């Protein structure tokens, strides 16, 4: 903000430029450019003189300037919810690997699940003229991106679709996964099943709730209002939801949790609970197999999610201009014990 009164600012730390190299080698600018970029058309002798000047001066090409002239920045932006969330780690890494394979750098940022911060970050990346953008949206209205997309910023949404605009999206089958997980609990004898999910603004939260509802309906089960809780994934809120569901006159005998953070909190609560409660959680979590009981989960493949999104992005960057696509990746139920606990009455 207030970086007003800086001195005669050392520019890039007073680095030598091609001009300096040219002067020292006694050649023209273009010749230096040729040597730096390994282009043909330089005699070995001239090349050597230039190389010596480069080494002596410690010259390193300023890609920032190069990029301005070339029109592509060879960088992409990835906006996710929280860099610290272990779920996004493999996704982030997968995007990076694809970017790297295409010679692009990755600019990263967290929206902190705040739509305004998401927009601010996305537009900052557009101002930097990233070639493309991969966004895990926090908000549900992305019309602010329309002029950018029209101007040529390739954009792929991942994990959650864009809101109110039509854009590429790579998603996990949230609805199908939640439906399968809930059906799994029903198959093990449960009739009163709770659902604790993320905020209703978030697409996946609604989809997973839908899957839960569908499975209950499939089995002819009516859902009690008290069995459903959507909200922030902060431990506090989740704990209260668990207490309410288990403390009711007709308590739930099983819980389906909407994502990894919710699951972790619920596992912690259930470990301290006196009677066994069944649990199936969306997202796999580390060490879930070593708990007693192991945690049964609906696993999604975060790395494939990221890789697929990045590949689609570079596909667009290569000129693909067909209709926006929506890729939905399957989930996988991993039974480890917690989801196979039977309700008290049925034992």
Contact footprint for a copy of itself (CB under 8 A): 1, 9-15, 58, 60-65, 67-68, 71-73, 75, 82-86, 88-90, 92-94, 96, 100, 103, 105-110, 123-129, 147-148, 150-153, 264, 267-268, 271, 285-292, 303
Contact present, 295 and 279 (Cβ < 8 Å) = yes
Residue spans of alpha helices (H) in 155-259: 174-187, 203-218, 235-247
CB nearer to a copy of itself: give 110 or 182: 110
CB nearer to a copy of itself: give 180 or 246: 246
From the list a copy of itself, DNA, none, pick the one residue 110 interacts with, judged by a Cβ distance below 5 to 8 Å according to partner type.
Answer: a copy of itself
Measured in Å, how far apart are the chain's first and last C-alpha atoms? Answer: 66
Least Å distance between CB 71 and DNA?
Answer: 7
CB nearer to DNA: give 29 or 234: 29
Least Å distance between CB 188 and a copy of itself?
Answer: 22
Least Å distance between CB 206 and a copy of itself?
Answer: 26
From the list DNA, a copy of itself, none, pick the one residue 40 interacts with, judged by a Cβ distance below 5 to 8 Å according to partner type.
Answer: DNA
Least Å distance between CB 149 and a copy of itself?
Answer: 9
Beta strand ranges found along the chain (DSSP E): 75-80, 105-110, 132-135, 154-158, 168-172, 193-197, 228-230, 254-257, 278-282, 296-299, 326-329, 332-334
| Angstrom distance (rounded) from CA 230 to CA 95 | 30
Least Å distance between CB 79 and DNA?
Answer: 22
| Angstrom distance (rounded) from CA 290 to CA 277 | 18
Instruction: Starting at the earlier edge strand, list the strands of the sheet with 332-334.
Output: 228-230, 193-197, 254-257, 278-282, 296-299, 332-334
CB nearer to a copy of itself: give 166 or 289: 289
Contact present, 209 and 258 (Cβ < 8 Å) = yes
| Angstrom distance (rounded) from CA 193 to CA 210 | 14
**Closest to 91 in 3D by CA, of 110, 75, 73, 118:** 110
From the list DNA, a copy of itself, none, pick the one residue 33 interacts with, judged by a Cβ distance below 5 to 8 Å according to partner type.
Answer: DNA
CB nearer to a copy of itself: give 109 or 210: 109
Contacts to DNA by CB under 7 A: 1, 5-6, 8, 11-12, 15, 17-19, 27-31, 33-34, 36-37, 40-43, 45-47, 59, 61-62, 65-66, 68-71
CB nearer to DNA: give 70 or 326: 70
Least Å distance between CB 298 and a copy of itself?
Answer: 18
Classified as helix, coil or strand, 54 is helix
**Closest to 283 in 3D by CA, of 87, 112, 85:** 87
| Angstrom distance (rounded) from CA 13 to CA 227 | 61
CB nearer to DNA: give 15 or 93: 15
From the list a copy of itself, DNA, none, pick the one residue 245 interacts with, judged by a Cβ distance below 5 to 8 Å according to partner type.
Answer: none
CB nearer to DNA: give 55 or 166: 55
Least Å distance between CB 39 and a copy of itself?
Answer: 12
From the list DNA, a copy of itself, none, pick the one residue 262 interacts with, judged by a Cβ distance below 5 to 8 Å according to partner type.
Answer: none
Contacts of 156 (CB under 8 A, 6+ apart): 132, 133, 134, 135, 167, 168, 169, 170, 309, 310, 312, 313, 316
Least Å distance between CB 183 and a copy of itself?
Answer: 26
Which residue is associated with the tokens 């009163």? 192
- Phi-psi category of residue 38: left, alpha or beta, with phi > 0 → left and psi -120 to 50 → alpha: left
Least Å distance between CB 62 and a copy of itself?
Answer: 6
From the list DNA, a copy of itself, none, pick the one residue 134 interacts with, judged by a Cβ distance below 5 to 8 Å according to partner type.
Answer: none
Contacts of 249 (CB under 8 A, 6+ apart): none
CB nearer to a copy of itself: give 120 or 250: 120
């Amino acid at each position: 903000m207030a970086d007003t009164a800086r001195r005669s600012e050392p520019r890039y730390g007073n680095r030598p430029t091609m001009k300096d190299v040219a002067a020292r080698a006694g050649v023209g600018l273009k010749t230096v450019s040729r040597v730096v970029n390994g282009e043909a058309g330089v005699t070995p002798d001239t090349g050597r003189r230039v190389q010596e000047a480069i080494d002596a001066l410690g010259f390193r090409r300023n890609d920032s300037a190069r990029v301005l002239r070339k029109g592509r920045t060879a960088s992409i932006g990835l906006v996710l919810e929280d860099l610290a969330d272990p779920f996004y780690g493999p996704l982030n890494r997968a995007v990076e690997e694809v970017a790297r394979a295409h010679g692009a750098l990755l600019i990263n940022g967290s929206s902190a699940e705040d739509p305004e911060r998401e927009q601010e970050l996305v537009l900052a990346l557009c101002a930097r003229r990233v070639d493309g953008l991969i966004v895990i949206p926090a908000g549900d209205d992305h019309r602010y991106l329309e002029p950018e997309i029209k101007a040529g910023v390739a954009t792929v949404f991942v994990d959650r679709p864009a809101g109110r605009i039509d854009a590429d999206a790579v998603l996990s089958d949230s609805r199908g996964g939640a439906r399968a997980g809930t059906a799994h609990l029903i198959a093990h004898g449960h009739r009163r099943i709770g659902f604790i999910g993320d905020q209703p603004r978030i697409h996946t939260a609604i989809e997973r709730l839908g899957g839960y509802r569908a499975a209950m309906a499939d089995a002819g089960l009516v859902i009690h209002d008290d069995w459903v809780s959507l909200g922030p994934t902060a431990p506090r809120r989740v704990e209260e939801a668990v207490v309410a569901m288990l403390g009711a006159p007709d308590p739930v005998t099983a819980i389906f949790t909407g994502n990894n953070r919710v699951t972790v909190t619920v596992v912690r609560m259930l470990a301290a609970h006196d009677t066994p409660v069944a649990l199936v959680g969306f997202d796999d979590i580390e060490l879930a197999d070593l708990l007693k009981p192991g945690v049964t989960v609906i696993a999604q493949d975060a790395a494939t999610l990221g890789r697929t999104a990045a590949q689609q992005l570079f596909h667009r960057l290569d000129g693909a201009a067909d209709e926006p696509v929506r890729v939905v990746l399957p989930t996988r139920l991993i039974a480890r014990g917690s989801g196979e606990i039977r309700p008290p009455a049925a034992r």
